[in-house]
Amino acid sequence: MSNQDYETHTVRIEKLDKKGSGMGAVWRDAGGSNPRKLKLNVPQTLIGEEAKVTVSNPNRKLARVLPDEIIKASSERITPPCPHFEKCGGCVWQHWAYQDQLEYKTNHVKRFLEQHGFDTDVVKDTIGAEVPWEYRNKMEFTFGRDGSLGMHELGNFRKVIDLDTCLIAGREMVEAMLEVSEWRKEFNLSGYDKDEHTGLLRNLMVRQSQKTDELMLAVFATDSPDGTLQNAVEDLIERITKKFKNVKSLMWMENTDWADMAQSEKTHTLYGRDYINDEMYGYKYRVWFDTFFQTNPTQAEKLVDLAIEMADAKEEERMIDLFCGVGTFSLPFATRVKELAGIEIVESSIESAKRNASDNGIDNTYFLAKDARRGMDEVLKSWGIPDLLMLDPPRSGAGGKVMRRIGRLQTDRVVYVSCNPETFADDITWLRDFGYELEQVQPVDLFPHTVHVEVVSLLRRIDG
């Protein structure tokens, strides 16, 4: 590489981007008559730090580079405990002291609310995890084209880091992943090549209930488990069931689609059943491979606690749970109100919600597989105006049309649970025009060492 192909710069980190990487800028040819600004995205750096970076092909306006050296370190920097941190794309902030992560997340929520003119005094400090490690109950690992098994390399979706540990996943889940990796090596089975669309093994999903201890493994592959693979699959069943006595579901999922997603065209249950039993907040749930279930149930129970506290539901009240999923919030609330209607557009989630209500002996729920606005209209015709509405939309938010429909509903209280402070702030802006005031916002950290933060909030109608 010639000297013209790269440049070395010292950059000061001014802020963090949406993915948690440091951002800074340098001026190239600063001594000339026409200096050019080069914006730099530098993962694994913190605000206020100075880093030495090497930029290849620097004749551009933006470059993403890992630091060669931290010249001036932040007082908040710590040594990452995971040996894979510098290369693995699974965590972004293991180099940052946990309490400082929480403070940043609180300010992150305040920043978006302030942009929309809300009083940020209603935002409380982020509730952190007592133990910010081994918190995940679900992991999706990827097989690389060379057969490696782990997570994608930071900034390189084509390469997979062959993991020998993962500090955010349950310990037994990691052991199961390593056992599958050894099995692949012994039978010399090929990993999947995303570019050529060739190879056998694509993904491994591992789920484990932190309450029941039941374990699920799902291998995603481009061929069926029969024929030439029969001996290998029989060996997989034997070694997994022998080593992990609590495995209740071992599945082989055929997936030949071009899309790089852990999905199944045909499911083969190799051992046990096609779901595991889980519990959260004292309620039982059946969890399939594609069920959306809170990934950090310990912190998720705090979300439920907060939502119940803010809602102050009364036993004579009627309630709507919008974007209800499989009933994570619906079941605890149903025992506190007269009637609850859960609305969710995904039919399989609604079927699960109905089954979960039945399994828990709850008979005052009404679940609708409809989009949010049509579902609210149907409930309005049956009940009139509900007393309480709760919503927990996806990261993209509920959107203006749904929020305006909520505003026109004129229910007394709205509890909004969000996994995206930016869309949360956008959404609740619509409710101001309908006489609602933001009373409380409580951030909760469900995903330590990542940029994500959840919020639970209460809005109350003050215009009568």
pLDDT tops 60 at residue 464? no
Q: Is 290 exposed, middle or buried (0-12, 13-18, 19+ CB in 10 A)?
A: middle
Q: How many CB atoms lie under 10 A from the CB of residue 408?
A: 10
Residues linked to residue 150 through DSSP beta bridges, in sequence order: 142, 162
Amino acid identity for residue 140 in this structure? E
pLDDT band at residue 288 using 50, 70 and 90 as cut-offs: very high
Average pLDDT over residues 348-367: 96
pLDDT tops 90 at residue 449? yes
pLDDT band at residue 6 using 50, 70 and 90 as cut-offs: confident
pLDDT band at residue 335 using 50, 70 and 90 as cut-offs: very high
Annotated active-site positions, please? 419
Mean pLDDT is lowest, of 27-36, 54-63, 196-205, for: 27-36
| pLDDT tens digits, one per residue of 247-273 | 999 999 999 988 787 888 899 999 999
The conformational region for residue 446 under phi > 0 = left, psi -120 to 50 = alpha, else beta, is alpha
pLDDT band at residue 404 using 50, 70 and 90 as cut-offs: very high
The conformational region for residue 154 under phi > 0 = left, psi -120 to 50 = alpha, else beta, is beta
Measured distance CA(287)–CA(135) in Å, rounded: 17
Whole-number pLDDT of residue 31: 61
Average pLDDT over residues 213-241: 97
Measuring CA to CA, how many Å separate 459 from each of 204, 388, 405, 412, 429? 41, 11, 15, 9, 11
Highest CATH level, class, for 138-280 = mainly beta
What are the two backbone dihedrals, phi and then psi, of residue 381, each rounded to the nearest 5 degrees? -65, -35
> For 350, how many CA atoms within 13 A lie in the half-sphere containing its CB?
17
pLDDT band at residue 463 using 50, 70 and 90 as cut-offs: low
Mean pLDDT is lowest, of 88-92, 141-145, 153-157, 317-321, for: 153-157
CA-closest candidate to residue 24, choices 35, 16, 13: 13
Structure-token pair, residue 263: 């999905």
Tell the residue number behind the tokens 């491994």, with chain if given. 204
Average pLDDT over residues 39-63: 93
Average pLDDT over residues 441-448: 98
Whole-number pLDDT of residue 1: 46
What are the two backbone dihedrals, phi and then psi, of residue 22, each rounded to the nearest 5 degrees? -70, 150
| pLDDT tens digits, one per residue of 235-244 | 999 999 999 9
Average pLDDT over residues 14-43: 88
Q: Identify the architecture of domain 3-72 in CATH.
A: Beta Barrel (2.40)
Domain boundaries, the chain: 3-72, 102-130+290-461, 138-280
> Contact at 8 Å (CB) between 137 and 154?
no
Would 3-72 and 102-130+290-461 be classified into the same CATH topology?
no
Supply the CATH classification number for the domain 102-130+290-461.
Answer: 3.40.50.150
CA-closest candidate to residue 442, choices 452, 450, 454: 454
CA-CA-CA-CA torsion sign (422, 424, 426, 432): negative
Mean pLDDT is lowest, of 22-31, 59-68, 117-126, for: 22-31
Measuring CA to CA, how many Å separate 399 from each of 8, 108, 257, 325, 389? 44, 21, 31, 18, 16
Mean pLDDT of the chain: 95
pLDDT tops 70 at residue 3? no
Average pLDDT over residues 9-35: 88
Radius of gyration of the chain (CA): 25
